[in-house]
């Protein structure tokens, strides 16, 4: 019986429990419960309260014997004792007694051979709608003998007591790999569920030789796929949305011996300053069944995407089939091209450069982009940011494990790797200008088609990467960054400054192979 599934978790006194409701049923339930309002587009609009983004300081992994020696413990993977976990878990189960609950049963992974079954138990109907749209929805008959591999329990109304529970705040995200459960409380931000599930895949798949990736992916009509790795603000979603190619997914993928596959069944896009001219696919996806977080509505219910008064991190979740040119199978062959995106606010990296296999591993482990002056308190000039594998907060294992897997896949399938700078040229942020999006798109097109390989390449004397001298449709002087700076000595100083930051970051990491370290900047 379904009730026994919840009772086995410790929820013994059951209130009304809704199993696998449809989208309309979840929308109606959320509206009736006063959790949300319906916008003029038909999408639900919700506010997440105090937490409008992920809270990495509140995430812990239970320190259990079977995984203790596997995990890369530290500031990202913080341990919590089994005793403290059980204390919080027991109080959470007591909180859930007799409450109305919403349950979703589905999957992570579009490849049936490499997916996991995931049950999600929610206190809020809109949270259950979110996971219904973001995860892989079951086909007819797949729920008849459904057995979950992992369970996520999300109850924002339950808050931890840091003094007693050993948490950082009232919010918590606790992962137990032995008990195969994730519990979330004190925060309503739906992205915590999404990224917790991603962390599960990042732990499980490398054991099978499959590379889990924080990247977007698309494919052309001939089946040639491409990957776009990048941190927030680098253009990962924008550049993978190509009218001439089908979108496989916008955020999380795996690379197996058979090819690549999306982990999800939906997309989770930023909406701040959303413009229908530049991102028409996302604009069109904000309709009935979609969920908007922290988007301000005008009195008539129209979303104001330019209003960041609650947060700059306004979001919308929707199923991938809301995108007209999506590859609904969520699968494709091995990628011929891998692109690492960075938004270099120092203005010294070239708009595009070709990487050797060792350089690819170096830049993958580095995961560089930059924060801008004024975006956070205390930042008065561009600040280098390094996030290993372009997704350090979601990696339970050491970065070198993922880098080794990526290197093996790239070598096995002959993928070409490029570093693409979507940041500044002609000077740093505040002096130079951001590289024009049409030029960036043209360079991506040339990389995907192989056209860029016909150019003559020159080696950057500091970063060692290969820079093309020409690309049709892009000014040649733009390709060599120093040419765009009026003060050439200032460029040299800035380039050496950034290079030193790369070196310092790499020196913090342990067990990086010497040939990979040697592929970094030199001066």
d(CA 396, CA 389): 12
Structure tokens belonging to residue 171: 């919010």
The mean pLDDT of the chain is 94
* pLDDT score at 312: 87
127-151 burial, b at 16+ Cβ within 10 Å, e below that, comes to bbbbbbbbbbbbeeeeeeeeebebb
Position 1 scores a pLDDT of 72
Q: Which of 59, 214, 253, 371 is catalytic?
A: 214
Q: Is 416 a catalytic residue?
A: no
Helix-strand-coil percent breakdown of the chain, rounded to 5? 30, 25, 45
Would you say residue 175 has pLDDT above 90? yes
Q: Which residue has the higher pLDDT, 371 or 100?
A: 100
Query: 237 catalytic, yes or no?
Result: yes
Set 30, 225, 234, 237: catalytic member: 237
Please state whether beta strands 291-293 and 252-256 pair in parallel, antiparallel, or not at all (unpaired): unpaired
Q: What backbone phi and psi angles, to 5 degrees, belong to 32? A: -65, -35
pLDDT at 459 over 70: yes
CB 229 within 8 A of CB 239: no
pLDDT at 377: 39
The question of whether 117 is a catalytic residue gets the answer no
Place of tokens 């043209």: 442
* The residue to which tokens 């070198």 are assigned: 400
In this predicted structure, the answer to whether residue 189 has a pLDDT above a threshold of 50 is yes
Catalytic residue among 58, 63, 242, 251: 251
- Residue 379's pLDDT is 44
Q: How far is CA 372 from the centre of its chain?
A: 20
Q: 245 catalytic, yes or no?
A: no
The whole-model pTM stands at: 0.94
Statement: residue 297 has pLDDT above 60: yes
Out of 30, 39, 52, 54, the active site residue is: 54
What SS3 state is found at 345? coil
Coil, helix or strand at residue 23: helix
Alpha helices by DSSP H, 309-417: 357-366, 399-413
| 195 included as an active-site residue | yes
pLDDT digits (tens, 9 = 90+) for 437-450: 999 999 999 999 99
According to the model, what pLDDT value does residue 307 have?
96
Per-residue three-class SS string for 258-290 = CEEEECCCEEEEECCCCCCCCCHHHHHHCCCCC
Contacting residues for 514 by C-beta, under 8 A, at least 6 apart: none
Spatial contact of 106 and 118, defined as CB atoms under 8 Å apart? yes
Take residue 55 and report the two structure tokens written for it. Answer: 């809270």
Is 315 assigned a catalytic role? yes
Flag the least confident range among 66-80, 287-301, 380-394. 380-394
138 with 154: CB under 8 angstroms? no
- For residue 378, pLDDT over 80 is answered with no
How confident is the model at residue 523, as a pLDDT? 80
Cβ atoms of 396 and 414 closer than 8 Å: no
Assigned token pair, 169: 């705040």
**Catalytic (active site) residue 47:** no
Position 382 confidence tier, pLDDT thresholds 50, 70, 90: low
**Active-site annotation holds for 232:** yes
pLDDT of residue 373: 44
Residues 87-144 pLDDT 10s = 999 999 999 999 999 999 999 999 999 999 999 999 999 999 999 999 999 998 999 9
* Residue 354: strand pairing partners: 418, 466
Q: How far is CA 489 from CA 112, 304, 478, 483, in A?
A: 56, 44, 18, 11
Instruction: For 180-214, give the secondary structure using H, E and C.
Output: CEEEEECCCCCHHHHHHHHHHHHHHHHHHCCEEEE
Neighbouring CB atoms inside 10 A of 430's CB total 13
State the catalytic residue, choosing from 169, 232, 311, 436.
232
Strands, E assignment, 396-492: 416-421, 424-425, 433-434, 457-459, 466-468
Cβ-based burial of 317 (10 A; exposed 0-12, middle 13-18, buried ≥19): buried
| pLDDT attached to residue 69 | 96
Among residues 59, 159, 236, 354, which one is catalytic? 236
Angle formed at CA 284 by CA 278 and CA 287, multiple of 5 degrees: 145
Question: Cα torsion at 203, 204, 209, 212 (round to 10°)?
Answer: -60
Find the helix or strand (DSSP H, E) in which 437 lies. helix 437-449
Structure tokens at 79: 């341990």
Span 318-351, pLDDT tens digits: 999 999 899 999 999 999 999 999 999 999 999 9
Return d(Cα 223, Cα 245) in angstroms, integer. 10
What is the secondary structure of 88-134 as a DSSP string? HHHHHHHHHTT--EEEEEEEE-SSGGG-EEEEEEESSHHHHHHHHHH
Sequence-distant (6+) residues with CB within 8 A of 494 are: 346, 347, 348, 428
Decide: helix, strand or coil at residue 151: strand
Q: Is the dihedral of CA 326, 330, 331, 337 positive or negative?
A: positive
Rounded distance, CA 189 to CA 295, Å? 13
Q: What is the share, in percent, of the chain residues with pLDDT greater than 70?
A: 98
At 402-436, the pLDDT tens digits run: 999 999 999 999 999 999 999 999 999 989 999 99
User: In which residue are the tokens 């009772």 written?
Assistant: 7
DSSP state of 390: G
Question: What is the residue whose two structure tokens read 């550049």?
Answer: 239
Using the predicted structure, report yes or no on whether residue 279 has a pLDDT greater than 90.
no
CB 111 within 8 A of CB 254: yes
**What is residue 247's predicted lDDT score, i.e. its pLDDT?**
95
């Amino acid at each position: 019986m379904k009730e026994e599934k919840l009772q086995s978790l410790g929820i013994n006194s059951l209130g009304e429990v809704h199993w696998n409701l449809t989208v309309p049923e979840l929308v109606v339930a959320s509206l009736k419960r006063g959790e949300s309002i319906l916008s003029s587009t038909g999408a639900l609009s919700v506010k997440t309260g105090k937490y409008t983004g992920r809270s990495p300081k509140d995430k812990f992994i239970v320190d259990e014997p079977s995984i203790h020696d596997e995990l890369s413990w530290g500031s990202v993977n913080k341990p919590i004792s089994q005793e403290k976990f059980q204390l919080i878990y027991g109080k959470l189960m007591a909180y859930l007694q007799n409450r109305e609950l919403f349950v979703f049963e589905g999957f992570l992974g579009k490849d049936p051979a490499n997916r996991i079954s995931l049950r999600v138990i929610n206190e809020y109907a809109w949270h259950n709608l979110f996971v219904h749209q973001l995860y892989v929805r079951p086909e007819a008959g797949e729920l008849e003998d459904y057995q979950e591999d992992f369970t996520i329990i999300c109850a924002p109304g339950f808050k931890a007591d840091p003094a007693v529970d050993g948490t950082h705040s009232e919010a918590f995200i606790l992962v137990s790999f032995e008990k195969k459960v994730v519990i979330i409380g004190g925060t309503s931000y739906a992205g915590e569920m999404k990224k917790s599930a991603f962390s599960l895949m990042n732990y499980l798949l490398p054991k099978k030789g499959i590379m889990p990736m924080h990247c977007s992916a698309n494919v052309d009509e001939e089946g040639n796929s491409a990957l776009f790795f990048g941190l927030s603000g680098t253009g990962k979603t924008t550049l993978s949305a190509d009218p001439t190619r089908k979108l496989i997914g916008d955020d999380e993928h795996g690379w197996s011996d058979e090819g690549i596959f999306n982990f999800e069944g939906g997309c989770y896009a930023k909406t701040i300053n959303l413009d229908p001219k530049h991102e028409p696919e996302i604009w069109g996806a904000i309709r009935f069944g979609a969920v908007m977080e922290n988007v301000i509505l005008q009195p008539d219910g129209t979303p104001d995407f330019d209003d960041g008064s609650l947060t700059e991190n306004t979001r919308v979740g929707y199923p991938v089939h809301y995108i007209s040119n999506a590859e609904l199978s969520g699968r494709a062959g091995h990628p011929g091209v891998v692109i690492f995106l960075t938004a270099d606010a120092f203005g010294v990296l070239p708009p595009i450069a070709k990487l050797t296999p060792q350089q690819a591993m170096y830049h993958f482990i580095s995961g560089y982009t930059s924060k801008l002056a004024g975006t956070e308190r205390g930042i008065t000039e561009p600040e280098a940011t390094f996030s290993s594998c372009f997704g350090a907060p979601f990696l339970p294992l050491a970065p070198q494990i993922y880098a080794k897997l990526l290197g093996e896949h790239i070598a096995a399938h002959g993928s070409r790797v490029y570093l693409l700078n979507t940041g500044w040229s002609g000077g740093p942020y505040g002096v130079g200008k951001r590289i024009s999006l049409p030029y960036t798109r043209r360079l991506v097109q040339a990389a995907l088609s192989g056209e860029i390989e016909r150019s003559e390449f020159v080696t950057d004397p500091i970063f060692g990467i290969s820079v093309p001298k020409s690309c049709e449709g892009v000014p040649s002087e733009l390709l060599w960054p120093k040419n765009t700076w009026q003060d050439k000595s200032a460029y040299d100083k800035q380039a050496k400054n950034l290079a030193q930051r790369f070196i310092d970051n790499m020196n913090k990491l342990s067990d990086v192979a010497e040939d990979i370290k040697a592929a970094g900047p030199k001066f």
